[in-house]
Structure 1
């Protein structure tokens, strides 16, 4: 946590997506001095989750179907409704005919919903996150909207509200090739998703397996032989890459092998979205390429970049001229978190540089200088210093007295 507050009054005026999309970087280009990995997948983006800084992009704005990455938006809307009180994770969800596993399209991944089962919204979200159940996606959609089409419209509207201009949906599971996104859009959505629902990393996306149906999901007559099916999380990197704790894999023939990944090491969290892994080489080779591309991208990101979180214990007040007060508190006008090259940040220090004289009247949020951060190699970055409160103009005598003092002060500087 920072030792001084960011100017919350200013940040509160920004929509969530604008605040989350603010991409910050160290002074100068973030050039790690090493070639970025060459990936076989069609498109990829790597972000620093804390700052939103784009570290890598390959065809980041190319439209590609997200496949089962679509289910992250379905989960997001379910959690949004749960948090607002419109539903609850403990709510028992109706299972009309459209939700049954036997009625899903061919080659669907399934949670294995069936007639007569009793299932909660929370269980359905596990079925989405771990088993990637298309039947679970339909059940959630019909629980939250009057029809699957209506829910898909809501998904698209939510994407637009979050600033994802190149993302749209026609159904909630990802089986349709007409769902559409880009690697850049979906990486930004993953950042929003993690920010809004951090608990899902532990409670949904890093859960290793999910067994369903259990006896309690079934009518009494079937509980002795429930036919429980245990499925393992389809994100293989949960088991093979240290620090990975989400998010979702996806595949359809038209899109190829997709994955939305997040991993945390030594205080730095990265988000990677990889779309369009080759689909014409067979499932084993396609999955192998997806894992290889994911590993190469995360390895490169963690080796050459890190998140810096400076701590500023206390900022000195600034001198206010011609105001009702002689001094005022200042705060950083932006978050202090920055993405930097991994070999920077040693011996970090800061300096407050004020653009004097600071003369009233001024409003809260007015910039009065910079907070400059330096390390052993020089300046890293700077953020504006802004007034924490309004500084009204003083009376005529105060203004006259300060004008005289400023005049003689300027003479002294000339000499």
Structure 2
């Protein structure tokens, strides 16, 4: 065991020249992380759902609706709510420009690959949050509205409480892993209804399926828009601790429903579960006897805006283009510098160097049977379809691969792996992870028939830590 551990830490020692006391503690902490890091050591994400009538606030179905879990990129729904508030109050306009700070530009994928100093128009930022689920944009918006990411998270939490989201706490604007960032299916439904009720003028953005920024076109992650008649919004989300999340709003026969599904084992199964729940809910007239939030402002008796939205024809999603990938990108981990490591405590140092988050590994959202969303080691395979000197060509190559073999790769995870070259440049490897070994091999066979170079590779569970 110790020999294996030493081998695993071998790459760290020459690179960072850590003090002996740190190395000793690292060995002990690493053994704990290794124990926690196995597929059997992760708590299974909370499986929860709720379907509500947006006009009456009546709960039509629910399961684990009040169990705490992680919002992932559903967080961006609150970021958008705050941005809509700011637009309505005159603090910002749709044509204003938001500048990416170094902090915002450094957020991992899914992102727009923005550089410090880049700007983005507010309206484009809205589309980037809804469609691309861009983490760098979320942070830039938060900093623009709150002055700092920390202050904006405080503002988000205060707004959540005011809306009746009593079990929700925000720690960032994007939804990337944070052990203290929690929510419930019920609270996400409250937020979905609040967006409809308080900001109906902006709801159309949630039905869009494409947008462009700096010459690059991006497509939506939300496939339910084209799979379920009447669906016209809202948002997807994913991190490993939460599983695959989705909030959907749909209009049929004069009724508008809002549904939440959390903890899906895959994007496809999450979407199917949502479609099944919504289809059943539209057929029933009487719910559980529960209301969305008792005594919350505008919850059980929504404002006129909900009725107006429910009466309006469902927005028609833009034509879907399968040539653009809809999978999220996993984060590109940047090695910590020695100066940064010196400022960190031992546990954080380990996490920075090994890309293992102790907080994430220890988080147990409920008492369900332990499992990993990738169903164990058999799904830690992927394919590599090229290596490039720039990020964008690598991204496009991976996107093209997922579109070329959609039956195998459409629900996998795009990963752009960055490494330094000898001349000081970078090499970007275009990869798609989250496959079984057989699926990866089959994908390569299919891609090679399409004259695309392909290599089967084996990764690990950390490739799944991203927000979509």
Instruction: Identify whether the pair has TM-score above 0.5, normalized to the shorter chain.
Output: yes
Distance 1:335 1:275 in 2: 24
Q: What does 1:83-122 align with in structure 2 at a 5 Å threshold?
A: 83-100=88-105, 103-105=106-108, 108-122=109-123
Counterpart pick for 2:187 among 181, 185, 200: 185
Distance in 2 (alpha carbons) for counterparts of 1:182 and 1:299: 22
Does 1:147 pair with 2:111? Answer: no
Q: Is the CA contact 2:197–2:302 (under 8 Å) kept in the aligned structure 1?
A: no
Deviation per CA, 1:303-362, whole angstroms, max 9, x where unpaired?
A: 22389xxxxxxxxxxxxxxxxxxxxxxxxxx8999x9xxxxxxxxxxxxxxxxxxxxxxx
- When residues 98 and 335 of structure 1 are mapped into structure 2, their CA distance, relative to the original with a 3 A threshold, is closer
Match in the other structure for 1:68: 73
Q: Look up the match of 1:158.
A: 159
Secondary structure of the structure 1 residue equivalent to 2:118: coil
Distance 1:83 1:335, change over 3 A: closer
Which position in structure 2 is the counterpart of 1:342? none
Please give the root-mean-square deviation of Cα atoms over the aligned residues, in Å: 2.2
Instruction: Output aligned runs, 1:182-261, within 5 Å.
Output: 182-202=184-204, 204-213=205-214, 228-261=215-248
| Structure 2: stretches of 5+ with no match in the other structure | 1-44, 288-300, 308-468
CA displacement, residues 274-321 of structure 1 (integer Å, 9 cap, x when unaligned) = 11112xxxxxxx0111011011001101122389xxxxxxxxxxxxxx
Structure 2 residue 157 is the aligned partner of structure 1 residue 170: no
Q: Could you tell me how far 1:211 is from its partner in structure 2? A: 1.4
Number of residue pairs matched? 247
SS in 1 for 2:132: coil
**Structure 2-normalised TM-score?**
0.51
Aligned equivalent of 2:350 = none
Residue 82 of structure 1: aligned partner: 87
Distance 1:93 1:58, change over 3 A: same
Q: Where is the strand percentage greater, Structure 1 or Structure 2?
A: 1
Structure 1: how far apart are the matches of 2:201 and 2:224? Answer: 19
1:268 aligns with 2:255: yes
SS of 1:199's equivalent in the other structure is helix
Indicate conservation of the 8 Å contact 2:48/2:261, yes or no: yes
| Matched ranges for 1:287-298 at <5 A | 287-298=267-278
* Alignment CA distance shift 1:243-1:115 (3 Å): same
DSSP-derived class of the 2:249 partner = strand
Q: 1:67·1:250 contact (CA, 8 Å) conserved in 2?
A: yes
Answer whether contact 2:127 2:211 (CA < 8 A) is retained: yes
Alpha-carbon separation, structure 1, partners of 2:198 and 2:144 = 21
The 3 A distance-change label for structure 1 pair 41 and 153 is closer
Alignment correspondent of 1:124? 125
Q: Distance in 2 between matches of 1:335 and 1:117?
A: 40
Report the counterpart of residue 16 of structure 2 in structure 1.
Answer: none
Question: TM-score normalized by structure 1?
Answer: 0.57
* Equivalent-residue separation in structure 1 for 2:113 and 2:213 (angstroms): 7
- Aligned residue in 2 for 1:50: 55
2:439 corresponds in structure 1 to none
| Runs of 4+ off more than 6 Å | 334-337
Look up the SS of the partner of 1:153 in the other structure. helix
Describe the superposition over 1:348-402 as per-residue Cα deviations: whole angstroms up to 9, x where unpaired: xxxxxxxxxxxxxxxxxxxxxxxxxxxxxxxxxxxxxxxxxxxxxxxxxxxxxxx
What CA distance in whole angstroms lies between the structure 2 residues aligned with 1:133 and 1:268?
Answer: 31
Gaps of 5+ in 1: 1-39, 214-227, 279-285, 308-333, 340-415
Hey, what's the Cα distance between the residues in 1 that align with 2:132 and 2:185? Answer: 23
**Per-residue deviation at 1:259?**
0.2
In structure 2, distance between residues paired with 1:126 and 1:185: 23
- Structure 1: distance between partners of 2:131 and 2:240: 21
CA distance in 2, matches of 1:162, 1:131: 26
Other structure's SS at 2:123 match: helix
Does the residue aligned with 1:168 lie in a helix, a strand or coil? coil
- Judged with a 3 Å threshold, the aligned counterparts in structure 2 of structure 1 residues 335 and 132 are, in CA distance, closer, same or farther, namely closer
State the 1:141 CA deviation.
0.5
Indicate the SS of the match to 2:259: strand
How far apart in 1 are the matches of 2:249 and 2:303? Answer: 22
